[in-house]
Amino acid sequence: MTRTRALFTAAALGLALGCEDKPKESKPADLDAGKASAVDPNLAQAVAAAGSKGERPGASGAADDGPPQNGIFEAGKADTQLKRGEPPKIALGEAGAEPRAVLAGVVAPGWKQNGSFEVTLRLGRAQLPALAVSLMIEAQKPKAPAAVAGAAPAPAPEPKGDSTSIGAKITEVKLTGDVGAQGKDLAAQLSRMKGSKIDFSVVGGGVGVDFTQQLAKGATPELDMVLRAVAEALEATAVGFPKEAVGPGGYWLITTRGNAGGAEVIAYRLVKLEKVDGDQLTLSVSTKRYSVSQKVEIPGLPPGAELDQYQSTTEAKLVLHKGQAIARSGTSKQTLAAGLIPAGGGDQRLGIQSIADVSIAIGQK
């Protein structure tokens, strides 16, 4: 294994994979939300309030309300928030100041833009060199049925409902700084990401859902961490809006179910309209994710390990135009911190920590 490959192998685990004694049970401060008002523009409080409003037959006591303190739902509990395959939930918290407008955007089939993502990854105590990731993003046109011999060509079907399928393909990955002789090996590894794909859908109100990613043939599995950082930044750009009119200072909570950080998660996204300047909107987005179970799949992870604690967040600042569903510029900070139980159990834990800072530009020269 080359030195570069070894770096990626460790980094793929979010780094820190050292063993430690079982930590004492603690309540993370950012999850200690209690039963807060549903219109308080604080993510932890909004999430707790949303959870307390969910229909939970058989639930008993305040301890069962809201998201789990360790970031992992008990078996079946995630379904009380959102079942697999259900559309996102968008709940308006505050309409904001006048003037207000309905801001939900659409992505028309055939829409196509280039994207440029500057990525910095910190993995435990290590940090990878800054990367520039270029990609082409395109809304897929519905395919016409296969032609039948002797029959007229069938017309392309209309899109189903308000869902648009979008594909993003990596066209280039390169280092943005000089990292010496070792950089040649690293650059060669990164170049193999060309052709990697990220697929997702934009549904009601412009929410991005069902994100999947696939590394290009020949790319080492450890490079999935880079693709994951880009996918989560791309997810942040597909914000989602309520049906109601909103103005400056307005905010809303979006609940989705999907995959992130190697786990299936329920994600709560608190979106605030910070500023309106003509047709330009400035938004802040705070996302917190909770794993639906102890299962996790990360390249390089010791087989059989299960989650013991899970924290996954994204903080984003975005700019987009009215009528658009995908932001054209912004920044995203993604954090992942998790504790894992090695196969066989015991009192030892594995620690995963990673931070990805991403600068986003879509449709800009």
In tens digits, what is the pLDDT along the chain, a chain of 365 residues? 444 454 454 444 333 334 444 444 433 333 333 233 333 456 766 666 655 544 433 333 334 556 788 999 999 899 999 999 999 999 999 999 999 999 988 888 899 999 999 999 998 888 888 999 999 999 988 765 555 556 555 454 444 447 899 999 999 999 987 777 667 888 899 999 999 999 999 998 899 999 999 999 999 988 998 999 999 999 999 989 999 999 999 999 999 999 987 899 999 999 999 999 999 999 999 999 999 999 988 776 777 888 999 999 999 999 999 888 899 999 999 999 999 888 876 677 788 899 999 999 998 75
Quick one: 218 exposed, middle or buried, by C-beta within 10 A (0-12, 13-18, 19+)? Answer: exposed
DSSP category for residue 23? P
State how far the alpha carbon of 342 is from the alpha carbons of 184, 295, 302, in Å.
35, 12, 7
Radius of gyration of the chain (CA): 21
Query: Quick one: which of 214, 215, 220 has its CA closest to 186?
Result: 220
How many contiguous H segments (helices) and E segments (strands) does the chain have? 4, 14
What's the full length of the chain, in residues? 365
Q: What pLDDT sits at residue 136? A: 97
| Sign (positive or negative) of CA dihedral 45, 46, 52, 56 | negative
Q: What are phi and psi of 230, to 5 degrees?
A: -65, -40
Residue 335 near residue 352 (C-beta atoms within 8 A):
no
Find all residues with CB under 8 Å of 82, minimum gap 6, and list them: 88, 89, 255, 256, 257, 266
Q: What pLDDT sits at residue 16? A: 39
Residue 273, beta-bridge partner list: 283
Rounded distance between C-alpha atoms, residue 291 and residue 305, angstroms: 15
Domains of the chain: 19-51+67-141+161-362 (2.30.230)
Q: What pLDDT sits at residue 12? A: 40
* Predicted TM-score (pTM) of this structure: 0.81
Both tokens of 18, joined, read 């050292």
Q: Which residue, chain included where needed, has tokens 């590894």? A: 189
Residue 316, beta-bridge partner list: 285, 332
